[in-house]
Amino acid sequence: MKPLPFLIVETGQPFPTLRRYGRFPHWIRVAAGLEEAETVTVNVEHGETLPSREGYAATIITGSAAFVTDRAEWSERSAGWLREAAHAGMPLLGICYGHQLLAHALGGQVDYNPAGRESGTIRLDLDPAAHADPLFAGLPASFPAQATHLQTVLRAPEGATVLARSAQDQCHAFRWGENAWGMQFHPEFATHHMRGYVRARADCIARHGGCARSVARQVTAAPQARQLLRRFVRHARGHAG
């Protein structure tokens, strides 16, 4: 029997200088090891309507340059859909904006990070709970990940388990229930994506006291973080089966 497709909720577009690499759903699909025919993309930012949950193995929510705190109509509508999906037990994975949107949908608090912009290859430190998590189990206690964000999850949803932190962000990953995960970092980013974002956000990095050239030089591969997408796919396939 043909496996159920993955729904990708597209909430924004890459920075213009990076669009030669495709859109976020393509980056996610490649990193997750999914064929194009195994995914269905809905561009909610452009007004497309989210479908019924029936017939999908899981949902992945992309990053965006938008802000959850703006409470845009398309964003709030998507949050409502995600809230229902999470309570129904559908496997969900929110990335960056998607992480924040999922937290907001489930009653968490999202706002600007008091520590300022976080950019480049950062170090994730796993909380003890991560070592028994279906996605994070078996990973090193600390490993690199790619990040670029101004807003963050200041308070995880009630009942959520925080799984990872960084020096600047105390909720870099969480799990809510058995099947819903948020990741502030970008598991789909390769080094060329990350360096491109650092260059594109150079002025903002400088305003927050950083040096984009130095941050770009320190960008390295993040294979453990990238693994998490394939782990999510396996988890969702197992859940669907």
Candidates 10, 45, 118, 188; catalytic one: 188
Q: Is the pLDDT of residue 240 over 70?
A: no
Amino acid, single-letter form, for residue 89: G
Task: Give CA–CA dist 162/182, Å, rounded.
Answer: 9
Candidates 149, 172, 186, 235; catalytic one: 186
**How large is the average pLDDT for residues 74-84?**
98
Both tokens assigned to 29? 């699909």
Per the document, the length of the chain is 241
Q: Is the pLDDT of residue 43 over 70?
A: yes
Taking each helix axis from N to C terminus, what angle separates 73-87 and 97-105, rounded to the nearest 10 degrees? 70
Whether 211 sits among the annotated catalytic residues: the reply is no
**How large is the average pLDDT for residues 29-48?**
97
**How large is the average pLDDT for residues 167-171?**
97
What's residue 206's pLDDT? 95
Whether 188 sits among the annotated catalytic residues: the reply is yes
148, 186 in Cβ contact below 8 A? yes
Model pTM score: 0.97
pLDDT in tens, 113-134: 999 999 999 999 999 999 999 9
Domains of the chain from N-terminus onward: 6-240 (3.40.50.880)
Q: What is the mean pLDDT of the chain?
A: 97
Candidates 96, 104, 118, 171; catalytic one: 96
Q: Is the pLDDT of residue 168 over 70?
A: yes
User: Would you place residue 239 in the very low, low, confident or very high pLDDT band (cuts 50, 70, 90)?
Assistant: confident
Amino acid, single-letter form, for residue 136: F
pLDDT in tens, 175-191: 999 999 999 999 999 99
Residue of 85, 123, 82, 93 whose CA lies nearest to 24 = 93
What's residue 241's pLDDT? 60
SS3 25: helix
